[in-house]
Amino acid sequence: MVSSLSEWFWNERLWFPEGLGWADLEDKDGRVYAKASDLWVVLPIALAFLVIRQIFERLVATPLAAVMGVEEKVRLIVSHNPTLESFYCNTTKNPSQSSIDSLCKQTGCSERQVQRWFRRRRNQDRPSLLKKFKEASWRFTFYLLAFIAGLAALIDKPWLYDFKEMWQGFPILTLLPSQYWYYMIELGFYVSLIFSVASDVKRKDFKEQMVHHMATIFLISFSWCVNYIRAGTLIMLLHDSSDYLLEHHLFYVHLSNDYVLSVLWILLPEFPYDGAAVSPYLLGHPHSAYGRPLPEQR
């Protein structure tokens, strides 16, 4: 059954126009094409990102936080109480009134003392401001560098300026080294975010964030497998250009130095465009790939 499903999924009639097939995408005469097997390299790249991130946070982000005035609030440490600690870890962090009454009897503490203990204990578990700053600075740095590198890789490509050029010759589009590394690095970064989710700050939009990362990994991988390389690199460039702007907003949340805030506001202005509105336009002419004329623009 699995072999039949695989044979149906990779049927040439689903992926190619008449007269073309998988044999046309085999490497030959110095021409290289994107293949699904290339994606295995993403795993070691993702692991490398985890190591690089630790080095960055320790040697760059932490000193930068001190320079930029990231201040950590003093948190009171709760007194050791085995009964309350066991209830906190194994039952709930927010006990009901009946649970508080029961804990008061077990520990001999007053209701106010039990409530205060749980409040301070919850504060201890909250991620520190420094941790949030380090995570935000790591993502900001990657997105900014990825945008600059992507722009450098595409600056001399005709499809950056004329979207019709994306589909010229499709699906027989040769793979350039810059496209290969752009894809693998972007995909490796998002896989590393999945790997590090257990140790990262759990945000309020955690579920939405996970769906976003999984969808991004799927879409990048899919566009690679079907050879939407040119369109894929343009869309990744577009999203990187907005992602680093989104991440820099977290600096404003964490910083207390007004001078630094003013400098960042000047250096990192917002650009009034909507990536979600622009992205579909990039994929607006795939039917031109098979030699059919483009519709007149109105």
pLDDT at 267: 52
Same domain, yes or no, for 133 and 119? Answer: no
Are both 240 and 101 inside the same structural domain? no
What's the pLDDT at 293? 40
Residue 35 domain-assigned (yes or no): yes
- In this structure, are 105 and 231 located in the same domain? no
Q: CATH number of the domain that 91 lies in?
A: 1.10.10.60
The region, left, alpha or beta by phi > 0 then psi within -120 to 50, assigned to residue 122 is: alpha
pTM for this entry: 0.74
SS (H, E, C) 58-90: HHHHHHHHHHCCCCCCCCCCCCCCHHHHHHHHH
233 inside domain: yes
298 residues of the chain, pLDDT tens digit each: 677 787 777 777 777 777 777 776 777 777 788 888 889 999 999 999 999 999 999 999 889 888 877 776 767 777 888 888 888 888 888 888 888 888 888 888 888 888 888 888 888 777 777 888 888 889 989 999 999 999 999 999 998 888 888 888 777 788 889 999 999 999 999 999 999 887 787 777 778 888 888 999 999 998 898 888 898 999 999 888 888 777 766 655 555 555 555 555 555 554 444 444 444 555 554 444 444 443 343 3
Looking at the domain assignment, is residue 258 inside a domain?
A: yes
Cα 135 off chain centre by: 12
Same domain, 17 and 87: no
Domain that holds residue 117: 82-125
Q: Say yes or no: 213 and 87 in one domain.
A: no
Residue 6 included in any domain: no
| Shared domain check, 176 and 50 | yes
Domain total of the chain? 2
| Residues 58 and 88 both lie in one domain | no
Answer yes or no: is 3 within a domain.
no
pLDDT recorded at residue 262: 54
The structure tokens listed for 84 are 């309350």
Question: 170 and 206, same structural domain?
Answer: yes
Specify if 295 maps to a domain: no
15 & 108 share domain: no
Which pLDDT value is given to residue 271?
Answer: 45
Count the Cβ atoms, other than its own, within 10 Å of residue 87. 21
**Position 61 in a domain:** yes
- Find, among 143, 127, 276, the residue nearest to 203 by Cα: 127
State residue 178's pLDDT score. Answer: 92
Asked whether residue 37 falls in the same domain as residue 142, the answer is yes
- Check whether residue 19 and residue 108 sit in a common domain: no
CA distance 113 to 78: 11
In our burial notation (b when 16+ CB lie closer than 10 A, e otherwise), range 179-206 reads bbebbbbbbbbbbbbeebeeebeeeeee
Q: Are residues 92 and 134 in the same domain?
A: no
Question: Residue 31: phi, psi to the nearest 5?
Answer: -95, 135
